[in-house]
Structure 1
Amino acid sequence: MHLAAALVAAAAETEHHGNPMMTTLPFGITAAVVFILLGVVTASYRNVSNRHADPAEVHVEHETGHGH
């Protein structure tokens, strides 16, 4: 039996006649929630580079003894 024929046979065996929206809606909601959470995590890393002094500036301050 070819792979395509096996996939068609498997799909025919698992076919049901319910509301297809109710079987796919949870997948869409789950994907949306995951993408929103990933967006929140990504947004939380904004401006991280500005929170810490540049290592070159810290090195110069130690040599000269002057701050900003």
Structure 2
Amino acid sequence: MQFATIVAAAAEGQHGNVMLETIWFPIVALAAFGIGALVTFSYRDVSNRHAAKAEAYARSQTLVRAGEADAEAGH
């Protein structure tokens, strides 16, 4: 019985406050998710920012296709 008590006391003596030992895990997780949120937030308006460029490209492609159709018809 004395051996079991010594082993239990030795096991308890090596551990401190578990919360203080593991506090870095949620801090690192929070930082990682925060960085991910900032990166995601930075792309929030990319499609609207290039809407005029996309419309100009679409117009130029329709004009090019119309010119190809005229060239094929022999005009």
TM-score by length of 1: 0.58
> CA deviation digits over 1:14-66, x for unaligned, max 9?
xx3211011110111111111111100000000100000353x2132x44xxx
The answer for the alignment partner of 1:24 in structure 2 is 22
Count of residue pairs brought into register by the alignment: 48
Structure with higher RCO (Cα < 8 A, 6+ apart): 1
Structure 1 runs, 4 residues or longer, greater than 2 Å off: none
Task: Extract unaligned runs of 5+ from structure 1.
Answer: 1-12, 64-68
- CA radius of gyration, larger in: 2
TM-score by length of 2: 0.53
Q: Which has the higher helix share?
A: 2
